[in-house]
A and B are shown apart, each in its own frame.
Chain A
């Protein structure tokens, strides 16, 4: 097999510690993914990406850097990929989804912080994530208190630019967000030495919209009565979208969708027509966080939609492509991105509307509200979401968890009881 140890050494990684993660991944992936029956053949591409997750893609980033290019790390769906691409840089999503990184995270952060933030900080301070190690600059944002303070820690390791995301959606907030985008444009130009022209930005907007369109196509396939792809496979595709080469990702995901649409015509589904259809809403699921989907689908249900940052919030609503001036394009970016309904906003009525709409569109029998421990905004917002779903007659259950194995038995019991109630 290919030996990436030299590459990892050059990136300053802790090889011995990183090896613990490398050793555990094949077995986890085998248990969660390869044990599934009747998987679409097109999933072979994503098997390939995961198998090479710390190998081939890191080599591609390295080649890009050797040719003078820059790599920019991001942590949130509010940060416009369009600008990174227009500056000739490569963007990679860096959120941490593994318990493996928690221990190092807790060395520099309090324990009562959400696992996603602890894991991403741990991945950097422990030197065990080659994506982090490849970044020339990180881009933070002000979506929660834990992240805001985490930037100060990460900034000790890698230069970081923080975008100040407004937390209300008034006209002046849209203006303010457009200014933040303008500042980010300047920062990327300074980092890369490349000017972001109207032409480059227009091309990047089109590329990102094509990526959104293919993800929407994937999700549309999940609306079928005979669901052609498992929820965990769809989740994996969404997770990979955050760091794969965009053109290749679009091509391969379109091929997968061709297969899924044929499956729908032929009635070849992955679940029985009696399987409850579950929608997940709540906090993001970064690789390799497949815990909730695995527990739900092992219990005989199928996940048909995620109203999360690793789901619909990432791809719904395109950026207006008709703008030709820089000012117009930046406003179009601000309008699209600030319209994402994250629990960091007050009020956040739009999210309640999204959840009810999506539950109906995807024919969900029930909703699982997924909350990562210590994520206060999503936790508190459950009250309103529960009320909206009850009014719409859609059953919902609240599940708070982390990345560990400690609660899997208990969660399984709660999920099974919820599914039983839906029958």
Chain B
């Protein structure tokens, strides 16, 4: 079965950090990650979450009027690390 990672993109850092604060207070697990290149050409933060929490996060985003640039997913990759 294919496995996916789930991401929330933001128009700026402030919106991302607002949601981070809410996720923390609601006890929803998340990871701040650099935005994968496949999802956006602009670098900066995005939030990786677990699919089971998606509906709850969408409700929080709506309730607290947080601006996002969408909920996205990417197939997990298993490849050797390439140092840059």
Contacts and interface: CB of A to CB of B under 8 A. Distances in A.
Interface string B1-34: 0000000011111000100100000000011111
B37 A51 contact: no
Contacts of A421: none
A122 to B, nearest CB: 13
Interface in A256-300: 288-291, 294
B31 A28 contact: no
Contacts of A3: 42
Interface stretch (A76-84, A151-159, A209-217, A400-408): A400-408
Interface stretch (A52-60, A178-186, A306-314): A52-60
B43 A22 contact: yes
Nearest to B42: A1
A30 B32 contact: no
A26 B32 contact: no
Contact of A30 (B33, B42, B83): B33
- Most B CB atoms within 10 A — which of A27, A288, A403? A27
A1 B46 contact: yes
A19 B41 CA distance: 9
Interface in A1-34: 1-5, 19, 21-32, 34
A51 B32 contact: yes
B31 A25 contact: no
- Most A CB atoms within 10 A — which of B9, B30, B37, B46? B37
B60 interface: no
Contact of B84 (A25, A45, A55): A25
A60 to B, nearest CB: 11
B61 interface: no
Contacts of B82: 24, 27-28, 31, 405
Given A1-B43, A1-B69, A51-B44, A31 B34 contact: no
Given A26-B36, A56-B13, A100 B84 contact: yes
Given A28-B84, A31-B81, A2 B42 contact: yes
Interface string B37-62: 10011111110100000000000000
Contacts of B37: 22-23, 26-27
A26 B33 contact: yes
A25 B82 CA distance: 10
Given A2-B12, A100-B84, A288-B84, A29 B43 contact: no
A98 interface: yes
Contact of B43 (A27, A34, A51): A51
Contacts of B81: 28, 31-32, 294
Contact of B34 (A4, A51, A289, A403): A51
Given A31-B81, A56-B13, A99-B84, A25 B43 contact: yes
A44 interface: yes
Given A1-B46, A21-B84, A403-B83, A52 B13 contact: yes
- Most A CB atoms within 10 A — which of B12, B34, B46, B69? B34
A119 to B, nearest CB: 11
- Most B CB atoms within 10 A — which of A4, A31, A288? A31
A188 interface: no
B31 A26 contact: no
A46 B69 CA distance: 23
A240 interface: no
A404 B83 contact: yes
Contact of A28 (B33, B41, B83): B83
A50 interface: yes
B31 A1 contact: no
Contacts of B83: 28, 99, 288-291, 403-405, 408
23 contacts: A1-B9, A1-B11, A1-B46, A1-B69, A2-B12, A4-B42, A22-B37, A24-B82, A24-B84, A26-B35, A28-B82, A28-B84, A30-B36, A34-B31, A34-B33, A44-B30, A48-B17, A51-B32, A51-B35, A52-B44, A55-B44, A56-B13, A408-B83
6 tightest Cβ-Cβ pairs between the two chains A and B: A31-B81, A1-B42, A26-B34, A51-B45, A51-B34, A47-B32
Interface of A: 1-5, 19, 21-32, 34, 44-45, 47-48, 50-52, 54-56, 98-100, 288-291, 294, 403-405, 408
Given A1-B69, A2-B44, A32-B81, 18 more contacts: A1-B9, A2-B13, A5-B42, A25-B43, A26-B34, A26-B43, A28-B83, A30-B36, A31-B80, A31-B81, A31-B82, A34-B33, A44-B32, A51-B35, A55-B13, A98-B84, A289-B83, A294-B81
